[in-house]
Amino acid sequence: MGAVGSKQHARVPKASKLSDVYDDNENSVAARYDTLVSAFKTQFEGEKPKTIARSPGRVNLIGEHIDYEGYSVLPMAIGLDVIVAVSVALKEEGNVEEDEAEATLSIANVDGEKYTPKEFPFDHEQEVDVKSHHWTNYVLCGFKGIFDQLKKQNKLESVLESAFMKRVKKVMVMVDGKVPLGSGLSSFSALNCAVTVALMDAFELSFTKGELSELTCLSERYSGTQSGGMDQAISIMGEKDLAKRIDFNPIGAMDVPLPTNLTFLIGNSCAVSKKAESAHKHYNLRVVECRLAAILMAKHYGEDIEKAKTRVTLREVADLYCNKGDLWTALGAVRKALNEGSYTKKQLENDEGLGDLRKIFDCENNEAFNVVLQKNDTFKLRDRARHVFSEARRVHEFQKICEGQSPRYAVSGPIYEHWCKVIGLEPDVGVASDDPTKDFGHPMYGIGKEDALAKLMHLSHESCKTQYECSCDELDELVDAFMSAGALGARLTGAGWGGCVVAVCESDIAEEILADVKKSFYEKRFQSGVANIADETNLLFKTAPSAGAAILHYDDEKGVIV
């Protein structure tokens, strides 16, 4: 079966029954929505929700840290989600006191003790306080993103001047999240997406899924991380039973059917990844390193230095200079264009002739990059670029294998064929090493589809660990625990530096593997208090592709769904 139908032009569906969205027991899902609604009514003194929306977390099967470099990734939406109830109170016409009062955006959480409520002015131009790391920052991101999108569509003035917007007195938002925080399953993107969809509907606006994916990607940057668009795109465009290949520039989501005899498992490493807090030394630093690598590669290909400095992604450079984006060629070029080890700031600015790095990254206007350059003096470029190009290739191979192509044929490209000839192998033999000239190996040769997918996941983890350096001891230990228990493959998922592992296994032994991993990895953590046994089902579980964002019809008489 080929990749079918990109759905970016569709609108977020209005679910007509809970089973359209959830596989879980309908009663417990309905009870969760009842709790959301009663928390809403209590918090906002009897007001009723106008709109309810949900958006899920995600697990990335393969393609880590390449979305912001323009390369496709292959995630699926998971069953855990964020649900949001919203209502807009309007000023009474002719009521002078109300007319003059400042409109507000009031945000609360069902778990109000842990996630305290906050009130903001109803002002889309206000800044997000990135120093506070308060959970409501992501709600503000969603709120601001809607107006940014309107501006982009030249509709901002007319919407702000509309009778509806002028009468807004108070926007009320109640949130309930089930995606574990800091787990690498995109809890914050699920929050941003659910809020954006709910507010869009409550403000009587309508954006396509593609527009929503892009606007939430950009709006989340107000929180302080320069992330790519994978998490938001899959949260918005995910579908039951299908993984998706998410493309960028332009955004798109192609269906990828997963082998039905395989089950995907998720395990939380119990190392919390605080993406926003640690961005300057982890996530944002990698974005900076990749951009510097792209610039030096463009320079290597003879671009004038000023022109090279305008390059933003590795893909941009590979598409221009590496056999129209051939990833083997790009991998070869990395070795020639970039030094092994690290570059210092001084080397980059003086020896490489890049001048003031702060100017390249527009640090006057971009605080996230400003902090990266203030706090780091060494930048690894070759390893980061190698990871990006080899990971982009693994995504391509993974998709081809899922679509039924033999692992032997999943690899292609002129340089690859050339190398195969040099080495004396048939060009259709799969290669999973990222450097055929040096560590040539053909682990995909003669293995079945399932093993090939698992092997790609394994290689992805190795590359994340050694070249991108975004793993950590707990993630590596959990990967080993899954493998020792009999999984076919396992890898960190999401940004890394903590969070979750995704593993794949033959479906008939999934339960055995879960029991084994519980014993080897979690029991000691339950005993030491690092993990809480009450959270067991959210720490280690089976997962399958789930539905993406949805708007749920709310009727106060009949409940959430009519």
CA 270 to chain centre: 19
Whichever of 68 and 416 has its CB closer to ligand GLA, that residue is 68
Structure tokens at 238: 């995910």
Asked if residue 369 lies in contact with residue 288, where contact means CB atoms within 8 angstroms, the answer is yes
- Applying CB under 6 A, the span of 63-71, 324-332, 413-421, 517-525 interacting with ligand GLA comes to 63-71
Of residues 67 through 96, those in contact with ligand GLA by CB under 6 A are 67-68
Whichever of 230 and 454 has its CB closer to ligand GLA, that residue is 230
For residues 130 and 288, what is the distance between their CA atoms, to the nearest angstrom? 19
* Count of other CB atoms within 10 angstroms of residue 465: 19
Whichever of 40 and 248 has its CB closer to ligand GLA, that residue is 248
250 Cβ contact list (under 8 Å, min separation 6): 8, 210
Tell the smallest beta-carbon distance from residue 186 to ligand GLA (Å). Answer: 6
Give me Rg for the CA atoms of the chain. 24
- Applying CB under 6 A, the span of 14-22, 58-66, 432-440, 507-515 interacting with ligand GLA comes to 58-66
- Applying CB under 6 A, the span of 57-65, 100-108, 442-450, 536-544 interacting with ligand GLA comes to 57-65
**Which DSSP letter does residue 3 get?**
-
- Applying CB under 6 A, the span of 16-24, 96-104, 227-235, 246-254 interacting with ligand GLA comes to 227-235
Binding track over 492-521 against ligand GLA, x by CB under 6 A: --xx--------------------------
Binding flag, residue 227, ligand GLA (CB under 6 A): yes
Q: Is the peptide bond before 259 cis (omega within 30 degrees of 0)?
A: no
For residues 408 and 431, what is the distance between their CA atoms, to the nearest angstrom? 8
Tell the smallest beta-carbon distance from residue 236 to ligand GLA (Å). Answer: 13
Phi/psi-derived region of residue 267, left when phi > 0, alpha when psi is between -120 and 50, beta in every other case: beta
Of residues 174 through 203, those in contact with ligand GLA by CB under 6 A are 186
Q: What residue type is 383 in one-letter code? A: D
Tell the smallest beta-carbon distance from residue 350 to ligand GLA (Å). Answer: 31
β-bridge partners, 266 = 502, 541
Binding flag, residue 214, ligand GLA (CB under 6 A): no
Tell the smallest beta-carbon distance from residue 494 to ligand GLA (Å). Answer: 5
**Which DSSP letter does residue 157 get?**
H
Instruction: Tell me which residue of 464, 462, 490, 460 sits closest to 478, measured CA to CA.
Output: 490
CA dihedral 37, 17, 209, 203 (to 10 degrees): -40
Binding flag, residue 65, ligand GLA (CB under 6 A): yes
- Applying CB under 6 A, the span of 13-21, 222-230, 235-243, 314-322 interacting with ligand GLA comes to 222-230
Q: Which of 69, 81, 176, 231 binds ligand GLA (CB under 6 A)?
A: 231
273 Cβ contact list (under 8 Å, min separation 6): 182, 183, 184, 494, 495, 496, 497, 498, 499
β-bridge partners, 256 = 243
Binding track over 530-549 against ligand GLA, x by CB under 6 A: --------------------
Binding flag, residue 228, ligand GLA (CB under 6 A): yes
Binding flag, residue 461, ligand GLA (CB under 6 A): no
For residues 102 and 87, what is the distance between their CA atoms, to the nearest angstrom? 17
Instruction: Tell me which residue of 543, 495, 542 sits closest to 241, measured CA to CA.
Output: 543
- Applying CB under 6 A, the span of 203-211, 226-234, 243-251, 417-425 interacting with ligand GLA comes to 226-234
Which residue among the candidates 176, 231, 247, 326 is catalytic per the annotation?
231
Tell the smallest beta-carbon distance from residue 433 to ligand GLA (Å). Answer: 22
Instruction: Tell me which residue of 483, 501, 532 sits closest to 273, measured CA to CA.
Output: 501
Whichever of 228 and 489 has its CB closer to ligand GLA, that residue is 228
Tell the smallest beta-carbon distance from residue 235 to ligand GLA (Å). Answer: 11
Whichever of 444 and 470 has its CB closer to ligand GLA, that residue is 470
Asked if residue 175 lies in contact with residue 110, where contact means CB atoms within 8 angstroms, the answer is yes
Whichever of 348 and 495 has its CB closer to ligand GLA, that residue is 495
Tell the smallest beta-carbon distance from residue 156 to ligand GLA (Å). Answer: 26
Residue 374, H or E segment: helix 367-375
Whichever of 287 and 357 has its CB closer to ligand GLA, that residue is 287
Tell the smallest beta-carbon distance from residue 390 to ligand GLA (Å). Answer: 14
Whichever of 464 and 483 has its CB closer to ligand GLA, that residue is 464
Binding flag, residue 400, ligand GLA (CB under 6 A): no
Tell the smallest beta-carbon distance from residue 244 to ligand GLA (Å). Answer: 14
* Count of other CB atoms within 10 angstroms of residue 130: 17
Binding flag, residue 230, ligand GLA (CB under 6 A): yes
Encode 522-557: b = buried (16+ Cβ within 10 Å), e = exposed. Answer: beebbeeeebeeeeeebbbbebebbbbbbbbebeee
Instruction: Respond yes or no: is residue 231 known to be catalytic.
Output: yes
Size of the site for ligand GLA (CB under 6 A): 12
Q: Which of 6, 64, 303, 398 binds ligand GLA (CB under 6 A)?
A: 64
Whichever of 51 and 183 has its CB closer to ligand GLA, that residue is 183
Instruction: Tell me which residue of 345, 409, 347 sits closest to 378, measured CA to CA.
Output: 345
Asked if residue 275 lies in contact with residue 283, where contact means CB atoms within 8 angstroms, the answer is yes
Tell the smallest beta-carbon distance from residue 231 to ligand GLA (Å). Answer: 5
Distances from the Cα of 11 to the Cα of 119, 216, 271, 431, angstroms: 30, 15, 37, 40
CA 246 to chain centre: 10
Whichever of 447 and 472 has its CB closer to ligand GLA, that residue is 472
**Active-site residue numbers?**
231
Residues in contact with ligand GLA by CB under 6 A are 60, 64-65, 67-68, 186, 227-228, 230-231, 494-495
